[in-house]
Amino acid sequence: MKTEGLARAIILLVAPLMMTSCVKNLEGSRMQVNLTPGSSDTFDRSDLIVPTPGVPQGDPRWFSHYELHANILGMGTVRLKSFLIRPALMIHHPCLQYLPDIYCRAAAGSTCNPYMNLERFSNIDDEILVATSVAETTDDGTGYRHVPGFDLMDRSRYPDELFVDPTLTDPLEKLARTNLNQDAVEAFCADLPKGHYLGNPNQLTRALNGDNYGAVDSADPRTNFFVGGITLHTKANLEFMTELMLTRERDPERLSPENINENLPPGDDGQLILLAQKHGTWGSISFEKYRGVMTVYMESPVGLPLTWSSIIYVNLDEDPINF
């Protein structure tokens, strides 16, 4: 490699250390991704949701969030992105209970029930999974700011003052608007961190809060049309990438205010679930005939029926073709 090429690559390694939560569309690299889950006797699409439903923190099956890492020129890894995979809508989330009454559902001979005003979207939270932004947690990783409301009946996620009767155990009763203190709920929701994802019944790709990176490959239960495709931006230039890794991380402290934007290596207790290598046995990394376009195919070294196919537009800030 020419000296100037090596110097350029070293500069590209330094750039990710300056990552922020806001990435301009014409900086770094952009990934267009299809994340495709298969199925097996021990794995289905719901296994992608983290934090793992029904599994307590500390259990070896519990995962906090996903992270994408790249190895550039074999000189070490850089953390490109942290994200969650979760239902497109959580229809009983308190912050979605005071949306306009256009979401109410009326049927012949009955009036609209305002307390279940999102029920007509109930199949979305089972069928459509999306990759979303992940909000900062508290310093120790235990606070509600990590993913408030993921376990809707976990009282530690919601303060008791949100409810008329916080001791109710039936989810539909506890989270019905008849059991919510509207002022307290609206104050709670206004205090959610910017990165916390709240879905949007009108436009799934435009979140009410947080960022929607796109849908995991699936069929929309309302239309039966196939949906999918995730878009990720990174300030790192991936032109000289030799490996791309997707990990499931167990430690939510990696998302604390001092760590969320730091260039951390994969965690010692994390799980590598997808891998692509330019020179190796897992997946592939190659440049196409079009200038500045890389194709990456990741597969699971731990045997999960999961694949990641992506086109990466590298070095957007210098490529006049991309606009």
Question: What's the pLDDT score for residue 9?
Answer: 42
Residue 174 inside a domain? The answer is yes
8/10 Cα distance (integer angstroms):
5
229 shares a domain with 159? no
Q: How many CB atoms lie within 10 A of CB 41?
A: 5
Burial class for 297, CB neighbours closer than 10 Å (0-12, 13-18, 19+): middle
105 shares a domain with 141? no
Q: Which of 68-77, 99-108, 200-209, 258-267 shows the lowest per-residue confidence on average (mean pLDDT)?
A: 99-108
Question: What's the pLDDT score for residue 90?
Answer: 82
182/41 Cα distance (integer angstroms):
44
158 shares a domain with 144? no
- Cα-flanking dihedrals φ and ψ of residue 215, to 5°? -100, 140
Residue 4 inside a domain? The answer is no
Please give the average per-residue pLDDT across 226-239, as a whole number: 88
Domain count, the chain: 2
260 shares a domain with 115? no
Residue 21 inside a domain? The answer is no
Contact 119, 105 (CB under 8 A): yes
Q: Which of 7-16, 153-162, 195-204, 214-223 shows the lowest per-residue confidence on average (mean pLDDT)?
A: 7-16
Residue 284 inside a domain? The answer is yes
Q: Is pLDDT at 259 greater than 50 in this prediction?
A: yes
218 shares a domain with 72? yes
Is 0.75 surpassed by the pTM of this model? Answer: yes
249/19 Cα distance (integer angstroms):
19
Residue 13 inside a domain? The answer is no
Residue 16 inside a domain? The answer is no
Q: Within 151-208, where are the H helices?
A: 171-174, 182-190
Q: Determine the structural domain holding residue 253 and report its residue range.
A: 29-88+128-148+192-323
Residue 9 inside a domain? The answer is no
Mean pLDDT of the chain: 80
Higher-confidence position of 265 and 97: 265
Burial class for 281, CB neighbours closer than 10 Å (0-12, 13-18, 19+): exposed
Residue 24 inside a domain? The answer is no
Q: Within the chain, where are the H helices?
A: 3-14, 124-127, 171-174, 182-190
Neighbouring-strand partners of residue 268: none
205 shares a domain with 320? yes
Select from 199, 239, 226, 220 the least CA-distant residue to 103.
199
Q: Is pLDDT at 141 greater than 70 in this prediction?
A: no
Task: Give SS3 for 167.
Answer: coil
- For residue 51, say if its preceding peptide bond is cis, omega within 30 degrees of 0: yes
Burial class for 24, CB neighbours closer than 10 Å (0-12, 13-18, 19+): exposed
Q: How many CB atoms lie within 10 A of CB 278?
A: 18
Question: What's the pLDDT score for residue 146?
Answer: 55
At 29, the amino acid letter reads S
84 shares a domain with 96? no
Q: What is the pLDDT of residues 34-91, one digit of tens each?
A: 999 987 888 888 889 888 777 877 888 889 899 999 999 877 889 999 999 988 888 7
Higher-confidence position of 97 and 118: 97
At 87, the amino acid letter reads P
Measure CA 268 to chain center: 21
Q: Is pLDDT at 21 greater than 50 in this prediction?
A: no
